[in-house]
Chain A
Amino acid sequence: MIDRTRRLSALASLVAATLALTPIAGFAQNSSGKTPETSASTAQSAPSSAKQDRWLHVRVENLDSKDETVRVNVPLELAEKLLPTINRDRLQSGKVKVDELDCHGVDLHALLDAVRTSKDGEFVTVQSKDADVRVAKQNNYFLVHVVEKNHSARRSHVEVKIPMKVVDALFSAGKDELDLVAGLHALSAQGDTELVSVKDEENTVRVWLDSKNASD
């Protein structure tokens, strides 16, 4: 009887230990809380996280009501990987078709080529009672500056500052396409910079690039 009890006890312990160790093996493999593939992908991403991540931030704020805000923070690397997977309407494989855009007969490529090869300077300066407009190239940046003069206390300001390398990359795809992925890739090589700033009577819009994962 005692022998049977001991054997049964040993068998029960063996079964319990086997059952217990099965999850341990699985748990040990996934101790980081990730699947093996995930761990592999994390390991693969280690070099990329070693270099500083670049984040594109968009912030829209309502000047009258601080309760109305839109904040978007996108890692450039994520956007670069995602865009080619979206094939909808004009956006195909990370490139957007612009053939149907009305450019009023202006050959954008020729225009940009002229801007690229020219020295720093102001290309367009318009000063009128309604608005001041300035388009220039300065320190390898393409600059657009618009001040709308309305009669209210707040004037509308638009400032766009795009690195020329990004402009080149955007137009590298072909005559009728904008290569967004190439543009993002070129952008990721840039330092911290404010790309777009719009201030009008109601809202402020800012688009900028830095290495922080949240907007300040």
Chain B
Amino acid sequence: MLLAKLALGLGGTMVLAGAYTFHEGIMRVDEKHADGRRVQVWIPAAVVPVAMHFVPKRHLEDAAEQAGPWLPTLRALTKELEKYPEAELVEVRQSDQHVSIRTHDGKLLIDVSAPGDEVHVACPLAMLEHVSRELQANAPSL
């Protein structure tokens, strides 16, 4: 009986923690190369802002300094894009090459395909906004 209750409590916690972890969506990067290599990265968006707090401050400052001139643009872009959750922004098609940048379901989707190579990135806009805000907060000159 005790074990059952513990299992129920633990199971419920796991489910709710899982739901919380994934409720902001997943940042997904999928690369397929001509030589057959494939790189897939799946990161729950809710984890990224938390993980940023564990990054050493000097690394964050370095990143913020490098991205410095473009941080206000990135910040404005992510903030504004949230107003357009479903939009085709850019599409370039040339014979067997294709580039597409769009927003769908609150995510920024970037798809690039060329003969043999494919890159697909899906990134929740809320996460991008959070990351740009954190970087801007760590950029001393801004």
Residues in A lying within 8 Å of B, measured CB to CB: 5, 8-9, 12-13, 15-17, 19-20, 23-24, 26-27, 30-31, 33-35, 37-38, 41-42, 45, 48-49, 53, 65, 67-75, 77-78, 81-82, 85-88, 213-215
Contacts and interface: CB of A to CB of B under 8 A. Distances in A.
A168 to B, nearest CB: 26
Contacts of B86: 213
Contacts of B60: none
Nearest to A78: B80
A201 B8 CA distance: 72
Task: Determine the main DSSP class of B at the interface with A.
Answer: helix
A34 B16 contact: no
A27 B19 contact: yes
Contact of B17 (A23, A41, A70): A23
Contacts, number: 123
Contacts of B95: 65, 67-68
B115 to A, nearest CB: 13
Contacts of A19: 9, 13, 17
B71 to A, nearest CB: 9
A45 B81 CA distance: 11
A82 B80 contact: yes
